[in-house]
Structure 1
Amino acid sequence: MIVLDNHISKPGWCCSNSDGNGFFGDQYFNPDLWIKGLTKVATMFEGTKNVVGMSLRNELRGPNQNVTDWYRYMQKGAEAVHVANPNVLVIFSGLNYDKDLSFTLNKPVQLTFTNKLVFEVHWYGFSNGKEWETSNPNQVCGQVLGNLMGNAGFVLEQGYPLFVSEFGVDMRGTNVNDNRYFNCFMGWAAEYDLDWALWTLVGSYYLREGVVGMNEYYGVLDENWHDVRNSSFLQKLSVLQSPFRGPGYDEVRPHKVIFHPMTGLCIQRKSLYEPLVLGPCSEAEAWSYTPEKTITIKGTYFCLQADELGLPAKLGVICSYANSKWETISDSKMHLSSTLEDGSSVCLDINSNNSIVTIAFTPQPLSTNSRWVVNESGQRVKLACVNWVAHLEVVVAEGLSKQPVDAISERILDMGFNCVRLTWALFLFTNDTLASITVRQSFENLGLVESIAGLQANNPSIVDLSLIDAYQAVVASLSNNNVMIVLDNQISKPGWCCSNSDGNGFFGDQYFNPDLWINGLTKVATMFKGTKNVVAMSLRNELRGPNQNVTDWYRYMQKGAEAVHAANPNVLVILSGLNYDKDLSFTLNKPVQLNFTNKLVFEVHWYGFSNGEEWETSNPNQVCGQVLGSLMGNAGFVLEQGYPLFVSEFGVDMRGTNVNDNRYFNCFMGWAAEYDLDWALWTLVGSYYLREGVVGMNEYYGVLDENWRDVRNSSFLQKLSVLQSPFRGPGYDEIRPHKVIFHPMTGLCIQRKSLYEPLVLGPCSEAEAWSYTPKKTITIKGTYFCLQADELGLPAKLGIICSYANSKWETISDSKMHLSSTLEDGSSVCLDIDSNNSVVTIACKCLNRNSTCDPGSQWFKIIDSTRCTSATKSSVGIISIFNFMAKNLLASFS
């Protein structure tokens, strides 16, 4: 079939605003002559059966284009063509290089004939400059498609065909801009099942713009017009060459197919037992997408389910849980996302065998909803980060001499972290001389020969990059491995941080020029604008020193925030306070004033040594109560003001022998769980290239060991893992609000195996759901069963007579983490755990000022949750309840 397209008036390459061919009345574009030409062509080919359409004019454009003349002449031209050849479709182009038909929305074209009118539109990757390469493809796809539907796609709803008469890509396959654009195009063209014409068949030109034999890299054929230039492209495009639907194609009842634009394939099911795979759409599975957001095999009870991170998606018949709900998320609306049992978001992806798997994904960009960080679909995203140091004298991310960068990025995810707070030194981005030094030269300058050998072995692609390119390579590795990144300006002059006299502490200090700092922030924000997993920027680490003051804090932090947002409106902007990031209290009565909303986060730091040796030399209950009181007054209040609080540094000596740290961390765990905070652990680093003059210094606060190979303290990571998933927040209203009873020392929660067995500690994902009533009883949610103290030293039990003193529980001590009740003899007892992690009641300990007493085993925290756990999915059988009641009644008569 043939569509005759009037491309231009005066022969030559098309198009520019000043070529005299752009609009009616231009030098070479006489409207009357044009209509005569249309009439002549229509008449000439009236008897040629395969001439099915005539496109009246290509890419109207230029300074003279206007709507009035468009209607006047396009309607005249259409009538002329139809009179001369009533068999052909008449195809209308719009304005602005055939990208704009929006003016016809409220003023339809008026013609004397019907059922022959088609509209056309053009869309290339370069139609949007380099946006696809320099910005987040999800956002660009969403924005461009929104504009495209508003400017042209609406004609489909008005009842007209839309003919995409020009689109195409660089067939060499190396053009990132084109490749990303084309994935978006494929999704759009398949969704609307559009008519189209690819640019171009041409492999080379006789003469184009003065060049003889010019090679056409957008051409389907090669330079000699002999072979296909890119067979994989044609294979991918082939899915659009057949219709998905339309008149005459009602072969089966309407259904859905799940299309993968990057490959041009669809999801298939070989059997109920084999993994789902991609294959030709002619063999695609027929699906239904229900109002409950389940994706079911059409006409069956089998639904698509997310199993575990990295494993194949599966089919199941229990379709009421979160892992069976699928939503289209991100601006592109092409991520299919579900939620695993641990609350983590996953998306469908493909592996190297084209099997359908689920991998971690957090829709970007992030924003804030009151005190929560949320994604584009409004679901909470909990930042569970680890700090990766890249700001010391070498100015290279630590550990690259020990392990490949991708291995480190993968290990971060394996340990349960979803995010890295990656530090950077200001001078790397403001001093071109420093930035241009190669990694090898930086190590040589410091005499670190052994590290160079390690880098050469583990990261040969990085060792000869410039320092600034090496930093970008680390960011790219994290992003490619689906790790979110918080870029933290740790310091100005590269080196260890921090002291009051290092010249890096506050605006105006020796190395801290505020204007240079804002320039650096702007450069970093701009540089990583297109990196999808860069989700936040922390403006400055630990402001401090004798020059710190509130006036300059407001002056420069607000300027810095505005600069970052102007350069990259996608990222969260994180503000630190004064006094080593321990004090935000001055903002309580004078809120930060910014021109943007829903992007502001505050941060705070808290270590055991923040309070000297108090945890070891004083009573931990008192220290915990006093420190938390100060912490909430100095920083925690921002939660009530409607801002997220990011604990961007905390940590402990991973050797496990530091009493001060161990006691502090029990208190930290209770606080972080109670408020369900976002956080970043210090640190990933197992050892440093060079720190404070020491080569290869071992980092005892590091998650990884000295060789960056093994976890330094696996029990610590196991304990911390409870904080890596949210207890509550937007999008996690899986069941009605309830309480879980958390044990900070172990990172576990109280579980109930049955009504007869002792209560025990176990994973919080299997915690019992409790209510804490105004009468101080702790009951199993939705039942009459309450927690009771039985006898000193015996397990706590469940009962149904809840009016006595042994069923009342109060939080006592300064820490507010002792759960205390009263036995029948009037003695006070507290919950504790025995060697089997069973929950028992013993005499309350460490309530006096004794510093040698450690109350950790008796610390419990009643915290809010809306998460569905395995305990809340089950119910107590009626027979079991009657047996339980019978046992209690019989016991009362014995």
Structure 2
Amino acid sequence: MRLLPRLCSILLFTVLVFGTLAYLYVPFGFTNDPPDRLCVSPHYKIKPNSSLPLQRKPDFYPPLSTSGRNIVDKDGNEVQLRSINWYGASDIFFVPSGLDVAHRDNISALIRRMGFNSVRLPYSDELVLTKPTIEPHLLESNPDLIGKNALEVYHSVIESLTSHGLFVIPNNHITQGTWCCGANLCDAQWSNDWLGPICRIRQTETQWIENWKAVMHPLAENRLVIGADLRNEVRALWGTLRWATWAAAAERCSEQLLDINPDWLMIVEGLSSANDLSGVRKRPIELSIDNKVVYSSHVYAWSGWGQHNPYSKATYEEFAQAMQKNWAYLVEENIAPVWVGEFGTSDMPTKGDRNYWTHLIRYLRNLDVSFGYWAINPRKPLNYERESYGMVDDNWEMVTWDYRLVDLQKLGLNTSLLGELK
């Protein structure tokens, strides 16, 4: 009978925690600002099922490693990752979006022609643990994948991307297959077994690492799979997670992946939803193989880690100060490379969106770092909700040429191949 009061206490605590986080998670909005579409030009289109070369040379030649602030290729040439995120395998249907309407080779070719040289491909631990068979209607334009399980489909998409000369970075995005990242503590870290029966998918650190090995082992011979983004947006209640704790877990996982392929880069995101890498100064990631660590930060309009205002309201001086404190010092002091693995904004920007985006593009242009735009997808899986950050139309054929692509050109995105799509 003594168990009942304890369970009630746990339940009450959980409700309070999730309620608080749900309140805190609501993004800062600017609903009173009129939308303003900038620099909109005609879409570019690639014909479906068109004849496309399956083999494209990569921009750089792996294996990749690090040298001070830079990622470098096998010849020591500086590598700038111009990445785009392609999500879906981390979400409720366990499959990269768009395979119902376009062949994966067409999507790969389109990404290549948009000027990106790499793709960050999120997955969920649930996908690896359960390996569900993908519903046939979600693979309608890829009939050869019908009947395969989610991990097999994920690997097939990677094979397509790399055959088009694109580097691929698998990303452990979330534990339970759903949209990331909300207030659910079950998905906040790489393990959640300490939460007990609360979580639908329970996972220890050991299981997390085993999941990674299941994802990466079949990719060991694919030289364009260049590394692993170990965990998306690690966070904890009220900032209670210490950098040293996450750093040690990242090291343990990295060592086992490097046993599979010592050429891979190990990408480690900051704390507080990938905002904060300040702990690296005193406690860097240290591996048995040198020059394999890349750090990663995410920067969005509603972020504002360590600042009074979110970045949507910050002055450029405030924004630059936050970037330097949180992660850019690693680049400025030639300590390590940083990949801004997620950032993005709406095709119908508010005043706050424009403020954030203008500051970010200016800052990244001056710093000259690798980036990953979020995201190519035109729709979110749940309820087929429109993805305002997306770059293509619902058929995954037409590229939206607006201010975002124009500004990404300033960061080194080479969109010249889009002329082939007219």
Tell me the TM-score range normalised by the shorter chain: 0.7 to 0.9
Q: 2:169 is paired with a residue of what secondary structure?
A: strand
Aligned residue runs from structure 1 range 159-558, under 5 A: 359-389=57-87, 390-429=89-128, 431=129, 434-435=130-131, 437-440=132-135, 452=137, 455-456=139-140, 458-509=141-192, 510=199, 511-546=202-237, 548-558=241-251
- 1:826-856 CA-to-partner distances (Å, cap 9, x unmatched) read xxxxxxxxxxxxxxxxxxxxxxxxxxxxxxx
In the other structure, the counterpart of 2:412 is: 724
Whole-Å Cα distance in 1 between the matches of residues 276 and 94 of structure 2? Answer: 29
Whole-Å Cα distance in 1 between the matches of residues 281 and 301 of structure 2? Answer: 25
Say whether residues 1:660 and 2:352 are aligned partners. yes
Alignment RMSD (CA, Å): 2.4
In the other structure, the counterpart of 1:580 is: 273
Q: TM-score, normalised by structure 2?
A: 0.77
Q: 1:497 is paired with a residue of what secondary structure?
A: coil
Q: TM-score, normalised by structure 1?
A: 0.37
Whole-Å Cα distance in 2 between the matches of residues 720 and 370 of structure 1? Answer: 25
Q: 2:94 is paired with a residue of what secondary structure?
A: coil
- 1:373-417 CA-to-partner distances (Å, cap 9, x unmatched) read 111111111100000102101100111112111110000011110
Alpha-carbon shift at residue 542 of structure 1 (Å): 0.3
Q: 2:173 is paired with a residue of what secondary structure?
A: strand
Alpha-carbon shift at residue 641 of structure 1 (Å): 4.4
Q: 1:420 is paired with a residue of what secondary structure?
A: strand
Say whether the 8 Å CA contact 2:278–2:326 is kept in structure 1: yes
In the other structure, the counterpart of 1:822 is: none
Q: 1:534 is paired with a residue of what secondary structure?
A: coil
Aligned residue runs from structure 1 range 766-781, under 5 A: none
Amino acid at match of 1:661: D
Alpha-carbon shift at residue 556 of structure 1 (Å): 0.9
Whole-Å Cα distance in 2 between the matches of residues 597 and 725 of structure 1? Answer: 29
2:391 to 697, 700, 703: 703
Alpha-carbon shift at residue 508 of structure 1 (Å): 4.2
Alpha-carbon shift at residue 360 of structure 1 (Å): 4.0
Q: 1:527 is paired with a residue of what secondary structure?
A: helix
Whole-Å Cα distance in 1 between the matches of residues 58 and 243 of structure 2? Answer: 41
Whole-Å Cα distance in 2 between the matches of residues 359 and 587 of structure 1? Answer: 35
Amino acid at match of 1:399: G
Amino acid at match of 2:166: V
In the other structure, the counterpart of 2:376 is: 684
Whole-Å Cα distance in 1 between the matches of residues 75 and 310 of structure 2? Answer: 44
Whole-Å Cα distance in 1 between the matches of residues 290 and 154 of structure 2? Answer: 30
2:363 to 657, 666, 671: 671
Q: 2:186 is paired with a residue of what secondary structure?
A: coil
Say whether the 8 Å CA contact 1:425–1:489 is kept in structure 2: yes
Give the number of the structure whose residues are more often helix, by fraction.
Answer: 2
Say whether the 8 Å CA contact 2:227–2:267 is kept in structure 1: yes
Say whether the 8 Å CA contact 2:56–2:164 is kept in structure 1: no
Q: Which runs of 5+ in 1 are unaligned?
A: 1-350, 444-451, 727-762, 764-894
Amino acid at match of 2:387: E
Whole-Å Cα distance in 2 between the matches of residues 359 and 537 of structure 1? Answer: 22
Whole-Å Cα distance in 2 between the matches of residues 424 and 649 of structure 1? Answer: 15
Say whether the 8 Å CA contact 1:501–1:545 is kept in structure 2: no
Tell me the percent identity.
Answer: 26
Give the number of the structure whose residues are more often strand, by fraction.
Answer: 1
Could you list the structure 1 runs, at least 4 aligned residues long, displaced by more than 6 angstroms after superposition: none
Cα distance 1:587–1:361, how it changes in 2: closer, same or farther (>3 A)? Answer: closer
Whole-Å Cα distance in 2 between the matches of residues 498 and 679 of structure 1? Answer: 20
Cα distance 1:396–1:508, how it changes in 2: closer, same or farther (>3 A)? Answer: closer
Alpha-carbon shift at residue 361 of structure 1 (Å): 4.1
Alpha-carbon shift at residue 712 of structure 1 (Å): 2.9
Amino acid at match of 2:402: S
Amino acid at match of 2:214: K
Greater relative contact order structure (CA < 8 Å, 6+ sep): 2
Say whether the 8 Å CA contact 1:687–1:707 is kept in structure 2: no
Cα distance 1:601–1:686, how it changes in 2: closer, same or farther (>3 A)? Answer: same
Alpha-carbon shift at residue 613 of structure 1 (Å): 7.4
Q: Which runs of 5+ in 2 are unaligned?
A: 1-52, 193-198, 417-422
Cα distance 1:414–1:630, how it changes in 2: closer, same or farther (>3 A)? Answer: same
Q: 2:398 is paired with a residue of what secondary structure?
A: coil
- The count of aligned residue pairs is 349
Cα distance 1:566–1:699, how it changes in 2: closer, same or farther (>3 A)? Answer: same
Q: 1:604 is paired with a residue of what secondary structure?
A: strand
